Amino acid sequence: MGISELSTPSLEAVEARRGQLWTIAFFVMAALAVAMVLVSFDSKVGFQGFRVANLGGFRIGVVLLTVAFAAYVFEKEVHLRRLTRLLIEERVLTTALSNRLDELATLCAVGKAVNSVLDLERVLDIILSSACELLDGESGSVMLLDGPDQLRSVCVVGNNELAADARVRLGEGIAGHVAQSREPVLINGPADRRRFLRAIERENPVPSAVSVPLTNRGNLLGVLNVNSGSRMFTEYDLRALVLFAEHAAMSIANARLYQVERTHVEELIEVDRMKSEFVATVSHELRTPLTSILASVQTLQRRELDAATSDELLEMIDRQGQKLLRLIEDILELQRPGGGPSI
């Protein structure tokens, strides 16, 4: 039989084989015991010496057979127990691997979703909903640093008593403690109020909660909280959320950078629009006096005019020239710091 044709027995098949082994062992041992009893009561047939000699050999044979069969059963039991233990370990490892793959798939899906969205509000919604899905949590919140010494709740999901836009000072409550220490916290049962100062008193306390810091390149961005009312979180859940928070913090930082760049681009577009409007206005203002000056010069060159008309045209040329000079001075004023147009 080739290796490809070999198949691993299931745990149920091995347990069934163990049951069959002990059933056969029971009947065989019972049969041997009955045989020994029957031989012991052997009486009146044949010669006494012959009967004793054969009876002794038969008993020795039965005993040896019993010992050999017991050794066989013991060896098979040890083998089946070892196989059962290996199959149980394989099933546990397979389940753990499956859970790990599910978590990695969730992280990949979250990464794709977050990277495809750069709007900060949408990114926060995806992060919180994905964190609750990852840990099978029922409620949670994202709190971002607002100022140097406080957190502000910017996203809330589920039956959470922490309202949106709520503020917590660093060092106060569970989230404040996590933000100040930058260490993740796992809480099963009531929170220790001696450790978490001024923690929020809930009307219906959650049995289990996880809170991890959101940091990017050494900078604190906020805190991610996930609560559960139906299961107890484990250290494995805590490590999974810490890994998730690293990617989430990077996404938040990228969304913020995108917002800054988008605002900067909008400002540049507005400046370019104002520049275009200003150039159009200045061009119009320059064209009007220049047209008057050129027309007056052409009139003076082509016609013989009386002194009054000539003086009037020259005065117009001077007036429009002064206006051009003021416009040019205003344009030059714009190039100085704090300068502005006077037209």
pLDDT digits (tens, 9 = 90+) for 103-132: 667 666 666 666 666 788 888 888 888 888
Q: Are 127 and 146 in contact (CB under 8 A)?
A: no
DSSP state string for 79-120: HHHHHHHHHHHHHHHHHHHHHHHHHHHHHHHHHHHHHT---H
pLDDT at 220 over 90: yes
* Integer angstrom CA distances of residue 165 from 68, 151, 180, 225: 79, 9, 19, 15
What is the CB-side half-sphere exposure of residue 249 using CA atoms within 13 A?
Answer: 21
Q: Are 143 and 153 in contact (CB under 8 A)?
A: yes
CB count within 10 Å of CB 296 equals 19
Q: How confident is the model at residue 341 (pLDDT cuts 50, 70, 90)?
A: very low
Q: Give the span between the Cα atoms of 169 and 175, in whole angstroms.
A: 9
- Residues in the chain, overall count: 343
pLDDT reported for residue 111: 65
Contact residues for 253 (Cβ-Cβ < 8 A; gap 6+):
216, 217, 221
Question: Quick one: how many helices (H) and strands (E) in the chain?
Answer: 6, 6
Averaged pLDDT, 293-300: 81
Contact residues for 261 (Cβ-Cβ < 8 A; gap 6+):
none
Tell me which DSSP letter residue 193 carries. T
Tens-digit pLDDT profile for residues 45-62: 444 444 544 566 667 777
What is the CB-side half-sphere exposure of residue 196 using CA atoms within 13 A?
Answer: 19
For the purposes of burial, counting CB atoms within 10 Å of the CB of 1, is it exposed (0-12), middle (13-18) or buried (19 or more)?
Answer: exposed
Q: Are 209 and 228 in contact (CB under 8 A)?
A: yes
pLDDT at 12 over 90: no
pLDDT reported for residue 18: 81
343 vs 159, which has greater pLDDT?
A: 159
pLDDT at 5 over 50: no
pLDDT reported for residue 198: 64
Q: Are 154 and 124 in contact (CB under 8 A)?
A: yes
Averaged pLDDT, 293-321: 80
- Provide the token pair at 244: 């998730």
